[in-house]
Structure 1
Amino acid sequence: MRSLFATAASVMVLALAGCGDNATERAATGGIGGAVVAGPVGAVAGATVGAATAD
């Protein structure tokens, strides 16, 4: 059950990380998505993935 939750959380963070027109917006949406799913650690991970997502 725990691995299922972790997988679902990862998919949600990656899905939200791609939203936005530029790197700043993608980092912001990824950070918000990560914070909702996994708290402060998820916010950092989501922002990192969002900023690294290529156009």
Structure 2
Amino acid sequence: MKLIEVIVAILLPPLGVFLKVGIGKQFWINLLLTFLGFIPGVIHALFVIMSD
């Protein structure tokens, strides 16, 4: 399951965060980071997924 979450986080970072924590503070932060630059969004999504 973790592998699928990581793949989704790399392809669509906000979706990966949404699947892990739902719509909350982390989701909105990730959405903003993804709009500002794709790489920061991916890094944040991987951080959120791996910090379980």
- Report the TM-score, using the length of structure 2 for normalisation: 0.40
Larger Rg: 1
Give the structure-1-normalised TM-score. 0.39
